[in-house]
């Protein structure tokens, strides 16, 4: 079995941002030479997420609004007693999760017709990374 690991770095312009990383992950898979297997895409920060869904801008706005309703910015989070101000970002991460596993078939990401891989940033404007680990033959 072969393994290939690469890191993607992000420093978003906005506090919350959603970035389609499908093409970049596919490039890593192609470079790995793995034809059959899987790829793990994992945010390495507890205030960011990786998810699979449609890349339609209206849906992304709906997701952002939904998350803000479920875990709104609130200065009264107990986490803020530590000096942080990102309690909502931690909760948004728990809702969306930090990683996905996508099958690789014939050297390509085996996604459904509208599925795309997204990096979601909930506490941005600082340097963060995502690990992409392809595994297979």
Domain ranges of the chain: 2-136
Decide yes or no: CATH 2.60.120.460 for domain 2-136.
yes
The single residue listed with the structure tokens 């007693």 is: 81
CB 111 within 8 A of CB 38: no
pTM of the model: 0.96
Measured CA to CA in angstroms, residue 9 lies from 66, 126, 127 at distances of 26, 10, 7
Q: Could you list the pLDDT tens digit for every one of the 137 residues in the chain?
A: 999 999 999 999 999 999 999 999 999 999 999 999 999 999 999 999 999 999 999 999 999 999 999 999 999 999 999 999 999 999 999 999 999 999 999 999 999 999 999 999 999 999 999 999 999 99
For helices 87-96 and 57-70, the axis angle rounded to 10 degrees is 120
């Amino acid at each position: 079995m072969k393994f290939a690991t690469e890191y993607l770095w992000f420093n978003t312009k906005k506090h919350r941002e959603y970035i389609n990383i499908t093409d970049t992950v596919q490039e890593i898979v192609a470079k790995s030479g793995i034809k059959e297997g899987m790829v793990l895409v994992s945010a390495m920060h507890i205030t960011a997420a990786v998810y699979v869904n449609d890349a339609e801008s209206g849906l992304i706005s709906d997701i952002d609004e939904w998350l803000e309703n479920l875990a709104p910015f609130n200065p009264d989070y107990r986490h803020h007693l530590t000096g942080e101000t990102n309690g909502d970002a931690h909760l948004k991460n728990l809702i969306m999760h930090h990683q996905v596993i996508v099958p690789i078939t014939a050297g390509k990401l085996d996604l459904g017709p509208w599925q795309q891989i997204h990096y979601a940033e909930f506490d941005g404007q600082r340097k963060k990374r995502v690990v992409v680990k392809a595994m297979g033959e």
